[in-house]
Amino acid sequence: VQGGASDDIAVLLLGYEEQMIRMINESNPGLARRFPKEHAFYFDDYEDSELLAILDLYAKKQEVEVTMDFREKALNILRTQRKQSNFGNAGAVELLLKGAMQRVSGRLTLADGSSFTLNSDDIVDLGSSRTDKKKDPLDKLDKLYRMEKVKQKLERMKMNWEVARREGFDEPDIGHMVFMGSPGTGKTTVARAMSGILYSLSLKSSNVFVETSGLELTGEYVGQTKTKIAYFLKKAKGGVLFIDEAYSLDGGQYGKEAREALVAAMTSKDFSDVLIIIAGYSSEINKMLGSNSGLKSRFTTFFEFPDWEVDNCLAFFSMCAEKERFAVDTDALDEIRDGCQRLKQLKGWGNGRDVKHLFTQSKENRAERVYKDFEPVRKIVRFDVKAAVNSMLQARIGKLSDPEVDPFAEVDKLFRMEEVKAKILKLQKTWSLERSEGNNTPSLGHFCFTGSPGCGKTTVARAIAKVLFGLELKASDKIIETSAMELIAEYTGQTKKKVERQLQDAKGGVLFIDEA
């Protein structure tokens, strides 16, 4: 290559395009000069018509006939294989035909005199055991709670893919997906199911599922983020890469590098067979995608996972109980409703995850209760649930309301508080009545305190936080104090951030805005 005695030798380097370019450019500066890019030959993967022509040519050479249904099934399998980076093109066609011929040879041995014609049943598809053809791959979602809308959307996509396949066209590009919602709404569970669904539908060459997070992908120095993203993409080849809390890629010193590295990976042929799913809170994900139009354009399918309402929590708890053959007392159902209502108010509410934890703890409390006294019917009662709720509340706020303490004790110490006390008692009675009748507890609404300075507004606000907590109308006695002046921003967009931060800090308790 360097000249001299070997001048009469032509050296040919063969390999995958991106790997060859990387090797020539990075391994030795002299290689790039001696193998100029403009002299390279590019061999594209064969298109559908070319694959069928190769199939017919091989079949003719082997003196076998192939039916139309054989050609159709063979093409579908080859299309799926073509999505992989190591697709064998003509070699893949030859391998498929030889496998079918071997199968026919066995059949002819058993049934002497059969014609040597290949039909679709003779194709040896390594992915044929992926799923029972009589079963719908989307049935995997039936075992999950609140997945009707997700399944409907996937059903439409599935029909689109199958019609294109049946009519002889390439399936529409799957693209990449965004799952938006709070923790515990089912994002990770659906992502895991998605890898199996796409594999069963022959839209992915593997059912591999790799899970990571935006924080785990973010590097600690320049260049590390790109390396980390490439590492996880290689692990997920042919399958699904799930990036939870992906909005972490939007911040920090190397956030820009992380986003650019992700875009580059999504446009690379090396990782064209990887489906990327990013997940996180809706507001944070939208903010991240809004900061990079190139990144946003790569995601074509969006799924919303809404927060659970109290009725959803009740239904899921009952479903878990029925699955394990537990009866649930009516009083226990009321306690579940009240407990979830209080837990929902706090930071870190985990939706279905918390309800599952509540059910597990209720079972453990029941086991302790019936350990020495046999219970003929497997039943969860109010005591079991109440203890579980209290345990979860205590873990999050550090203390519980004391039923022995008068919740109005703080208010009674103040002057001229009779009207305030009467209004709170009315709210508490309304709340209790709705609760006893099995209805959803009404919203407390919000309070407006008007009056001159020094007449007790701030003092009452602090006392009311303790009153509402003592009456179990709020999950915490926390009060966050601020003022309108503190919330007003110095530039556009800052006010919203300030308000959201204070609301988040006061979650489960009271936010007091003075001089509003």
Terminus-to-terminus CA distance in the chain, angstroms? 80
This prediction's pTM: 0.64
Closest alpha carbon to 17 in 270, 391, 385 = 270
In a domain, 177, yes or no: yes
Closest alpha carbon to 52 in 18, 17, 76 = 76
Same domain, 144 and 280: yes
In a domain, 242, yes or no: yes
Question: Would strands 379-380 and 117-118 be described as parallel, antiparallel, or unpaired?
Answer: unpaired
Q: Please identify, among 92, 122, 152, the residue that sits at the C-terminal boundary of a domain.
A: 122
Tens of pLDDT, residue by residue, the chain (516 residues) = 555 665 667 788 888 777 787 788 777 777 887 888 788 888 888 888 899 999 999 888 888 888 998 888 888 888 777 776 677 899 888 888 888 887 776 555 544 444 578 888 888 655 444 445 456 777 778 777 888 888 888 888 888 888 887 777 777 788 899 999 999 999 998 998 888 888 888 788 788 999 999 888 887 777 788 888 888 998 898 889 999 999 888 776 777 787 888 888 888 877 888 999 999 999 889 988 887 788 888 999 999 999 999 999 999 999 999 999 999 999 999 999 989 988 988 878 899 999 999 999 999 999 999 988 888 889 999 999 999 998 898 888 776 666 666 666 766 776 777 777 777 777 777 766 766 665 666 667 788 888 888 777 888 888 777 777 777 777 777 888 888 888 887 777 678 878 888 888 888 788 888 887
In a domain, 127, yes or no: no
Q: Measure the CA–CA gap between 194 and 163, rounded to whole angstroms.
A: 20
DSSP 6: T
Same domain, 353 and 295: no
Q: How many structural domains comprise the chain?
A: 5
In a domain, 419, yes or no: yes
CATH of the domain at 104: 1.10.8
pLDDT, position 128? 46
Q: Which domain holds residue 86?
A: 48-122
CATH of the domain at 331: 1.10.8.60
Same domain, 507 and 444: yes
Does residue 156 contact residue 108 with C-beta atoms inside 8 Å?
Answer: no
Pick left, alpha or beta for residue 325 (phi over 0 → left; psi -120 to 50 → alpha; otherwise beta). Answer: left
Q: Measure the CA–CA gap between 381 and 52, rounded to whole angstroms.
A: 67
Same domain, 346 and 292: no
Helix 418-436 × helix 330-344 angle, to 10°: 130
Q: Measure the CA–CA gap between 123 and 125, rounded to whole angstroms.
A: 6
Same domain, 187 and 268: yes
Q: Please identify, among 260, 280, 304, the residue that sits at the C-terminal boundary of a domain.
A: 304
Same domain, 104 and 33: no
In a domain, 345, yes or no: yes
In three-state secondary structure terms, 50 is helix
Same domain, 316 and 370: yes
Q: Measure the CA–CA gap between 314 and 1, rounded to whole angstroms.
A: 75
Same domain, 108 and 145: no
Listed as own residue / partner, the contacts of 421-429 with beta carbons closer than 8 Å and 24 or more positions apart are 424/464, 424/467, 424/468, 424/471, 427/473, 428/471, 428/473
Q: Please identify, among 289, 304, 319, the residue that sits at the C-terminal boundary of a domain.
A: 304
In a domain, 403, yes or no: no
Two structure tokens written together for 250: 């939007």
Residue type, 222: V
Same domain, 299 and 152: yes
In a domain, 129, yes or no: no
CATH of the domain at 261: 3.40.50.300
Same domain, 154 and 249: yes
Same domain, 147 and 296: yes
DSSP H helical segments within 141-184, as ranges?
148-166
In a domain, 1, yes or no: yes
Same domain, 21 and 53: no
